[in-house]
Amino acid sequence: MKSFEHINAKSLEEAACILEQNKGKARPIAGGTDLLGTLKDKIHFEYPELLVNLKTVEGLAYIKNDENTLKIGALTRLSDIQKNQSIREKYPVLAEAARAVASPQIQKMATIGGNICQEPRCWYYRNAENTFHCTRKGGKYCNALTGENQFHSVFGAVRVLNPPCSASCPGGIDIPSYIHEIRKGDLNEAAKILLESNPMPAITGRVCPHYCEQECNRWEFDEAVSIRGIERFMGDYVLEHAEDMIRPPERESSKSVAVIGSGPAGLSAAYYLRQAGHSVTVFDRMDEPGGMLTYAIPSSRLPKDIVKGFVHSLQNMGIVFKLKDNVGKDVSIENLTRQFDSIFLASGAWGVPSIGLDGEELTRSGLEFLTNVKQGVKEVLGNKVVVIGGGNVAVDVAITAKRLGAGDVTLACLECREEMPALEWEIEQTVEEGIAVMPSWGPFRVLESDGKVKGIELVRCTSVFDGNGCFDPTLDMSVRKTCEADQIIMAVGQRPDLSFMDPEFALDIDRGLIIIDEKTQQTNMPGIFAGGDVTSGPATVIESIAAGKRAADAIDGYLLKGETARSDQRRPRNTDTLLTFNLDYLKETRRVEMPELPPSERSITAEDVLGLNKEAIENEANRCFNCGCVAVNASDMAPALIALDAKIKTTQRELSAEEFFSVGPMTTTALESNELVREIEIPVQKPNERSAFLKFRIRKSIDFPIMNVAVALDMNTKTISGARIVLGALAPVPLRVKPAENFLKGKELNAETAESAAELAVRGVIALHKNAYKIQVTKALVKRALLSAV
């Protein structure tokens, strides 16, 4: 074993204190039979620096019987529980469970406290050297889901941390949960979950780069789920049912907020603020709301109607739009601070910087070009157009120019092909549409004759970024190239235009960006918040949406002085329920791609990409793994303690056994990292209570259960007045099977009723491809355990 320090604790309090002081670096050791195995194999990414020995704590190994309870100290060894006469007589389920643990030697070493805290039992989880950094350890993927899952859960998985799709989404959308609702056929519920973090899925479904898909675990198997396809369908569904889905608030707060800028950040903040009951007024200098959504993104990617539809639903919520209202000119921002209780600045990044190019005055701005096209201004393009820039605006400009009938369109940028900020598919599309892409060329000077553009001289760019990743292009002046052109369009970056603010308006600004607190979006001035491109520089729509939501939450807290602040409007989802999925997900399937128009039919008005239909998105929903962990809790004592309705007393609190066993990263309990089990308290058995424990394992030595079952029956002469049936090693947590328990109430126990109860115990199982045998074993043992209890 790798080295660690070792300290003998004298009390649990001392041990807890040491664990707290060495958070993440110290582990408690009792019997050590589970812990030392994990340390020898180095199953974890991190190795403890310190072990805190609990065996030196005196007075924690006891079995005490009084009138009402049986009390077992946490350090009581399993062999002592097994041999204790009173436990054997009154609580056979407990004695048998202790007897079933591992081997006689281990029973003499292992403590009951340690047994109920053992780590999950899964060979991927426990593989030496952390070969599989699985989802239970904070990784991304559950290898057992698609791999060797003979010993794993037959009752579904359990979410440990955010799955990789949600974790990689800037908006943190709970993707698996809404997809799960689609699988269940509840589109309304799915839409509600989606709207909790993204009010405009119809828009993001069309324009978001969908980082979530890049992280989708389905790549390990075949291809990512088409989250964009599902999102777009759901987005259109939301707009179709906007009257039901995007509703005015039920209560008004009597507070008012001004939102400056109606791009994604502004609209997102407006939505969430209005939802919280505040009166919201959105200011925008343009004729139509939507900001970049309306004016910069070509209709072929995002039709104006989609943005209009969303804005319309916001108006129906009661949000007021003041358009053609140029804050700074028509109304001063100081004025707004007096009129409104809070302000959210989301004015975007509309400034087009000059790059100091010789002859730059003869070029035009790409952003202005796109805006003109979207406003319907008739653009006359030359025969040879050169677009400078490598981002998605440059790509949009080049494609739009080409589709408007420009002859030759060339896209030149400093970055090499791999470094181009535009997405790979965007670059491919440019090439597909006949645009010449020239990476690694920097503009040097505009060639002119009589004030007319004749071309542009380019120089070789050898690198764009310095060693620290900062923009610092290196040019090789000896390699030059001239491109003929009659029009040059610059799309080389945008930045916030803060000219609308009076210089005396004392907002902290750094390098052209408004400085904010990243959690709350609050500026240095109380009540004034900012977000979106104006604080971050050009970013994605979903990043702006997320900023808008963060700001809305913080503004809400600010306005209500934290009284009833809706810090997070996510409705609680039942995290106790095990995750289910459709077994079809395990078949290798192709991702359904959204149909695209062929290049010859594409235009600047119609959408290039068409959405998926309901059937297709249902297929995609069925491909979602609903990622979780399918490792089981293999404690033998756990089901027995739940069957006996035990209480677990820790250094901090008292929990029912059912609450105690839960799921977290690297843990099977609800314990905090510095919390220790002190005592187990079991209510005294009624005279007519009968219990039994059975375990199925492959061999006797050390073996963990393939499954185990603990039953406790309250007998009323012949009939059963109450039953507790708990299954172990079949699910991520020990599982009470309530349908079977309810069935037995009032019934006589015989082979027939026991068999029916056993059938009910396995109702709703989801066998993985290698563990279906567990179902038969479970049925047989539940029946046997019931019959052997009486």
Give the footprint of another protein on this chain (CB under 8 A).
Answer: 1-8, 18, 21, 29, 32-33, 36-37, 39-41, 51, 53, 55-56, 79, 102-106, 108-109, 700-702
CA distance linking residue 148 with residue 686, whole number of Å: 44
CA distance linking residue 96 with residue 334, whole number of Å: 76
Contact 258, 281 (CB under 8 A): yes
Contact 545, 171 (CB under 8 A): yes
* 62/773 with CB nearer another protein: 62
* 255/697 with CB nearer another protein: 697
* 482/701 with CB nearer another protein: 701
Structure tokens at 559: 């306005």
* 110/490 with CB nearer another protein: 110
* 100/144 with CB nearer another protein: 100
Smallest distance, Å, CB 552 to another protein? 47
Pairing assessment for the beta strands 647-650 and 654-656 based on DSSP bridges: antiparallel
Smallest distance, Å, CB 529 to another protein? 45
CA distance linking residue 612 with residue 595, whole number of Å: 8
Structure tokens at 616: 């297709």
What are the E-state strand segments in 629-706? 647-650, 654-656, 661-664, 667-669, 677-683, 689-696
Smallest distance, Å, CB 109 to another protein? 5
Smallest distance, Å, CB 496 to another protein? 52
**Greatest alpha-carbon span in the chain:** 110
Structure tokens at 646: 């035990």
Q: What is the DSSP letter of 378?
A: P
Q: 657: exposed, middle or buried (C-beta count within 10 Å: 0-12, 13-18, 19+)?
A: buried
* 84/494 with CB nearer another protein: 84
Pairing assessment for the beta strands 667-669 and 661-664 based on DSSP bridges: antiparallel
Smallest distance, Å, CB 37 to another protein? 5
Smallest distance, Å, CB 80 to another protein? 11
Structure tokens at 243: 């009257």
CA distance linking residue 669 with residue 662, whole number of Å: 5
Contact 529, 555 (CB under 8 A): yes
User: At 742, which amino acid appears?
Assistant: N
Q: Which of 287, 268, 195, 167 is nearest to 539 (CA)?
A: 268
Q: Is the dihedral of CA 742, 746, 749, 750 positive or negative?
A: negative
* 8/603 with CB nearer another protein: 8
* 118/622 with CB nearer another protein: 118
Distances (CA, A) of 654 to 28, 117, 637: 20, 15, 18
* 22/685 with CB nearer another protein: 22
Tokens 């019931």 identify what position? 786
Smallest distance, Å, CB 102 to another protein? 7
Distances (CA, A) of 252 to 48, 248, 278: 53, 9, 6
* 21/254 with CB nearer another protein: 21
CA distance linking residue 246 with residue 194, whole number of Å: 12
DSSP element (H, E) containing 760 = helix 751-761
* 340/704 with CB nearer another protein: 704
Smallest distance, Å, CB 703 to another protein? 8
Structure tokens at 318: 């009661």
CA distance linking residue 216 with residue 54, whole number of Å: 42
Residue 501 gets the label, from left (phi > 0), alpha (psi -120 to 50) or beta, of beta
Smallest distance, Å, CB 620 to another protein? 43
Q: Which of 782, 689, 682 is nearest to 741 (CA)?
A: 782
Residues in the chain: 790
Smallest distance, Å, CB 95 to another protein? 14
Q: What is the DSSP letter of 213?
A: H
Give the ranges where 48-91 is alpha helix by DSSP (H): 78-83, 85-90
Q: Which of 101, 136, 140 is nearest to 119 (CA)?
A: 136
* C-alpha count within 13 angstroms, C-beta hemisphere, residue 62: 12
Contact 726, 735 (CB under 8 A): yes
Structure tokens at 341: 């209780």
* 53/520 with CB nearer another protein: 53
Phi and psi, residue 342, nearest 5°: -155, 160
CA distance linking residue 217 with residue 140, whole number of Å: 7
Smallest distance, Å, CB 680 to another protein? 22
Q: Which of 235, 125, 246 is nearest to 173 (CA)?
A: 235
Smallest distance, Å, CB 152 to another protein? 20
* 119/181 with CB nearer another protein: 119
* 108/779 with CB nearer another protein: 108
Smallest distance, Å, CB 17 to another protein? 11
Smallest distance, Å, CB 729 to another protein? 18
Smallest distance, Å, CB 706 to another protein? 16
Smallest distance, Å, CB 574 to another protein? 38
* 4/505 with CB nearer another protein: 4
Q: 648: exposed, middle or buried (C-beta count within 10 Å: 0-12, 13-18, 19+)?
A: buried
Smallest distance, Å, CB 721 to another protein? 35
* 40/452 with CB nearer another protein: 40
* 104/746 with CB nearer another protein: 104
* 34/681 with CB nearer another protein: 34
Structure tokens at 558: 């600010």
Q: What is the DSSP letter of 423?
A: -
Smallest distance, Å, CB 57 to another protein? 12
Contact 202, 236 (CB under 8 A): yes
